[in-house]
Amino acid sequence: MDLNLVLQSLISGISIGCVYGLIGIGFCVIYNASGIVNFAQGAFVMIGGMATYVLMTDYNLPYAVAAICAILLAGIVGAVVERLVVRPLWDRNAAMFVMILATLAAQIVIERLAYILVDDQPKTLPPFTDIAPIRLGGIAVNYQSLWIVGCSVLIILALNSFFRSTRTGKAMRAVSINAEAAALQGIPVSRMLTLAFVLSAMLGAVAGILLTPTQYTAFNMGVPFAISGFIAAIIGGFGKPLGAFIGGIALGVIQSMAILGLGAGFKNVAALSLLLLFLFFRPSGLLGSTR
């Protein structure tokens, strides 16, 4: 097989993998704060790309301003989902799959609102910088891939220092280790849960904005990306943000290799089989401890 083609796929795999990683980290942030797996995560990815598009075309905002507004909007929606859907169930000690179902229902509601408020047409955003791709021998690296990788690495570093150095970040880590003990130390556990949803929604929105120029966004694009993000989180060892990022890249690379080797139809089968392999043989993930 042509080596250039393999390298080219590798690059596109890594860049989409970074997006999966960001979505996966969103899962981890909420899971660590509450033990909840939020299946509405895909909705935030959709809001990111969709809101940026609407703000740019209908309100003529500059790209960067529209993107920041979209991220903030996703954060607000995250807080609303937490307050209106997750909180009441949390207070009633709902079973795990009730929570899964409720967040899925929230996903449907947000999807449908987007459909009613905007429309059902797929939309795309212009690349961040519209310059011809860099040529390295026979491979072309487009700038959007560089933006995706660069932004993702910056976000990981920022998140890392947030969790390690700030008071709020430390408090969130304390809650994830032991919520009751954290409450006894005077940490407002309930506010941390809301904050986790806001943070994770904003991460999802960033992922959505980064990926829309390379693909497209539509009201119903969230679920497939949420599933990929979830697989990334599982591969990394659930609850480990760095693991989710590595898992995302691994997933992206394997998917693009599957497209290259087996055809585009096998993209999802490869991803889901990878998930099953990890669940069966190493449920604690790459970074998890072996029991």
Within positions 189 to 228, which residues make up the interface with other proteins, using CB under 8 A? 223, 227
Tell me the CA end-to-end span of the chain in Å, nearest whole number.
Answer: 40
* Burial status of residue 131 (CB atoms within 10 A of its CB: 0-12, 13-18, 19 or more): exposed
> Binding residue for other proteins (CB under 8 A) from 25, 234, 235, 254?
234
Q: Least distance to other proteins from the beta carbon of 47, Å? A: 16
69 binds other proteins (CB under 8 A): no
Report in angstroms the alpha-carbon separations of 115 from 45, 105, 164, 184, 200.
15, 15, 40, 44, 23
* 52 token code pair: 């940026």
153 binds other proteins (CB under 8 A): no
Is residue 213 within 8 A of residue 19, CB to CB? The reply is no
How far apart CA 219 and CA 46 sit, in angstroms, is: 7
Q: Least distance to other proteins from the beta carbon of 3, Å? A: 28
238 binds other proteins (CB under 8 A): yes
Q: Least distance to other proteins from the beta carbon of 205, Å? A: 20
> Binding residue for other proteins (CB under 8 A) from 3, 57, 65, 88?
88
How far apart CA 187 and CA 175 sit, in angstroms, is: 8
How far apart CA 156 and CA 206 sit, in angstroms, is: 12
Within positions 91 to 130, which residues make up the interface with other proteins, using CB under 8 A? 92-102, 104-106, 108-109, 111-113, 115-116
Residues making contact with other proteins (CB under 8 A):
35, 37, 84-85, 88-89, 92-102, 104-106, 108-109, 111-113, 115-116, 223, 227, 230, 234, 238, 265-266, 268-269, 272-273, 275-276, 279-280, 283
